[in-house]
Amino acid sequence: MLYDIAIVGSGFAGSLMAMICQRLGRSVILLERGKHPRFTIGESSTPLTNLLLEELAARYDLPAIAPLAKWGTWQASYPDMACGLKRGFSFFHHVLGQPDQGDRDHQLLVAASPNDRIADTHWYRPEFDHFFVKEAQKLGIEYLEEAELSKISESEDEVRLSGSGLDIRARLVIDASGPRGFLHRALKLPEVQIPDMPPTQALYSHFSGVGLYADAVEQPPYPIDAAAVHHLFDGGWIWVLQFNNGVTSAGVAATKDAAERLRLQDGESAWEDLLAQMPGLQEQFAQSRKTRPFTYVPKLSFRSGVVSGNRWVLLPSAAGFVDPILSTGFALTLLGVSRLSEIIEKDWGTQDFACQVGKVAKRSDAELLAAGRLIGSLYSSMSRFPVFAAVSLLYFTAVIYSETVRRLGKPELAQSFLLHEDVYFGPLCREIYGRVSEADCRKLVDDIVRAIEPLNLAGLGDARRRNWYPVDARDLYESAAKVGATEREITALLERAGFAQ
């Protein structure tokens, strides 16, 4: 049988892509090297991620997917599927070997929702990805597990995938198998450096018995552990994501120099030694036990030098990865899924199809580079928390603006991730990234706060808030002119988003 589309990799992105293609009338086969449920890292959603997921579910008639876009609807629809409550982003700065610094000058809390009901989530990937695969099967999509593919061959009219007794023919192959995945190996694609991003390593696992991190002496804008929690130190950071099934995802990402100094390659002993230098975290993990072996990644970031061909394309999740910090990966992937779906819908079977796919792939690569520039700058400023906090506001400014204009029905105002193509914001960010090593921290911070103001919809950088930023509707009303909206339009947006109880 000749399929229209073969999709390699059945994580949520591959399964979602398969469901969309099937809804568009294409014949699809979904191929998985492993078997579900399986462990996968990458678990934290964001408001923009959830909005994209919601849009795709509505556009392509996937009602079973839509409830996963909010904590409240997820709990009402799928209470038995594990996930974590994410009310925002929590950052704490540490100096290794010294007591935790509990003052707000060493904290950054950015809320993403005003209440639990419309909050974001952490995706417990063994169950989350398995759910997507089962939904794809319910739609009649052919699915093969433990499919060991080793070769790909192309002709003018089709692609053939083979290995372990398999011989799959398709008009288009979409690779959703992750960094250094199937097509990267089979086609021997080059791997290239992400400019401005230092080489990094990682060590991580899942744990049970993890407590709460008690560091706030004042009432924070949300429970600080109900978030993507980041613990920063010179050269690296630790993440802590808590799920409602008693499991906590935690790990460390660090520059090569810092990773070697911390001996991350030693696994569990390195993790324990690192916690011993961070008293608050050591206490939080005092009763914990790992639920699976530690995974050590000697080369964390990845970028494929080629992203598409005449009859194949890498989804963003397979084309590159920067770092877990700020949870950029899901949004990049869903933007790629959305754009590729539009091309399949509009241009399938035309002579222009391959060219359009190439343009989508090129755009995804440009957005990966934009994320790399941002995250590289964050790594450069981890030892100087005021600079780190200010640079991170570039991210929050861009994503809050992008989410808002999409909800207003004005996506043309934010067509690129992190607004990197915006004629004002793109050059501004690049100029600031080049200044993170400036000796005068105060001037750089002040310049960033002034620079973001034309797009700042959330009161970011307001010194009166002392690094704690709640979700406050008044900020959006006061900034309505920045998105060309009336007060009535802002009210309608907040009602549609479920802002009011």
Q: What is the CATH number of the domain that holds 143?
A: 3.50.50.60
Above 70 in pLDDT, residue 501?
no
Q: What is the pLDDT of residues 361-415, one digit of tens each?
A: 999 999 999 999 999 999 999 999 999 999 999 999 999 999 999 999 999 999 9
pLDDT score for 312: 97
Q: How confident is the model at residue 156 (pLDDT cuts 50, 70, 90)?
A: confident
Q: Tell me the whole-structure pTM to 2 decimals.
A: 0.96
Whether residues 347 and 490 share a domain: the answer is no
Rounded Cα distance, 160 and 149, in Å? 10
**Does residue 376 form part of some domain?**
no
The helix/strand/coil state of 316 is: helix
Whether residues 287 and 431 share a domain: the answer is no
Above 80 in pLDDT, residue 500?
no
Above 60 in pLDDT, residue 241?
yes
Mean pLDDT value across the chain: 96
Give, in order, the Cα–Cα distances in Å from 284 to each of 110, 232, 368.
22, 16, 34
Q: What is the pLDDT of residues 462-473, one digit of tens each?
A: 999 999 999 999
**Does residue 74 form part of some domain?**
yes
Pick from 297, 329, 344: which residue ends a domain?
Answer: 297
Pick from 241, 272, 297: which residue ends a domain?
Answer: 297
Contact 418, 367 (CB under 8 A): yes
Whether residues 452 and 313 share a domain: the answer is no
Range of the domain at 15: 2-80+124-193+302-364
Contacts of 363 (CB under 8 A, 6+ apart): 339, 416
Rounded Cα distance, 387 and 433, in Å? 11
CA angle 430, 436, 440 (to 5 degrees): 130
Whether residues 242 and 165 share a domain: the answer is no
How large is the average pLDDT for residues 50-64? 98
Whether residues 219 and 186 share a domain: the answer is no
Rounded Cα distance, 164 and 465, in Å? 60
Whether residues 212 and 356 share a domain: the answer is no
CA angle 146, 148, 149 (to 5 degrees): 140
115-124, 157-166, 386-395: which range is least confident on average?
A: 157-166
Q: What are phi and psi of 419, to 5 degrees?
A: 55, 30
What number of CA atoms fall less than 13 Å from residue 331's CA on the CB side?
Answer: 28
- Higher-pLDDT residue of 389 and 102 is 389
The helix/strand/coil state of 304 is: strand
pLDDT score for 102: 77
pLDDT score for 50: 97
CATH number at residue 92: 3.30.9.100
Whether residues 75 and 149 share a domain: the answer is yes
Whether residues 50 and 96 share a domain: the answer is no
**Does residue 293 form part of some domain?**
yes
Rounded Cα distance, 179 and 452, in Å? 33
Whether residues 226 and 108 share a domain: the answer is yes
Q: What is the pLDDT of residues 421-437, one digit of tens each?
A: 999 999 999 999 999 99
Whether residues 272 and 309 share a domain: the answer is no
**Does residue 501 form part of some domain?**
no
Give the tokens for residue 424: 């004002």
pLDDT score for 114: 95
pLDDT score for 1: 87
pLDDT score for 101: 80
**Does residue 334 form part of some domain?**
yes
Please count the structural domains in the chain. 3
Q: Indicate the helix (H) or strand (E) that contains 313.
A: strand 312-314
DSSP state of 149: -
Q: What is the pLDDT of residues 22-41, one digit of tens each?
A: 999 999 999 999 999 999 99
Whether residues 17 and 71 share a domain: the answer is yes
Give the tokens for residue 91: 């950052």
- Higher-pLDDT residue of 157 and 210 is 210
Tell me the pairing of strands 120-123 and 142-144: unpaired
**Does residue 275 form part of some domain?**
yes
pLDDT score for 418: 97
State the amino acid at position 118 in one-letter form: I
**Does residue 375 form part of some domain?**
no
Residue 298, preceding bond cis, omega within 30 degrees? no
Rounded Cα distance, 494 and 476, in Å? 10
pLDDT score for 215: 63
The residues pairing with 8 across neighbouring beta strands, listed in sequence order, are 31, 175
Whether residues 130 and 117 share a domain: the answer is no
pLDDT score for 217: 61
pLDDT score for 76: 98
- Of 246, 320, 232, 314, which is closest to residue 281 (Cα–Cα)? 232
**Does residue 238 form part of some domain?**
yes
* 3-class secondary structure per residue, 402-458: HHHHHHCCCHHHCCCHHHCCCCCHHHHHHHHHCCCCCCCHHHHHHHHHHHHHHHCCC
Rounded Cα distance, 448 and 440, in Å? 13
DSSP state of 191: B
Q: How confident is the model at residue 216 (pLDDT cuts 50, 70, 90)?
A: low
Contact 382, 252 (CB under 8 A): no
Q: What is the pLDDT of residues 143-155, one digit of tens each?
A: 999 999 999 999 9
Contact 22, 140 (CB under 8 A): yes
Pick from 329, 364, 399: which residue ends a domain?
Answer: 364
The helix/strand/coil state of 351 is: coil
Above 80 in pLDDT, residue 416?
yes
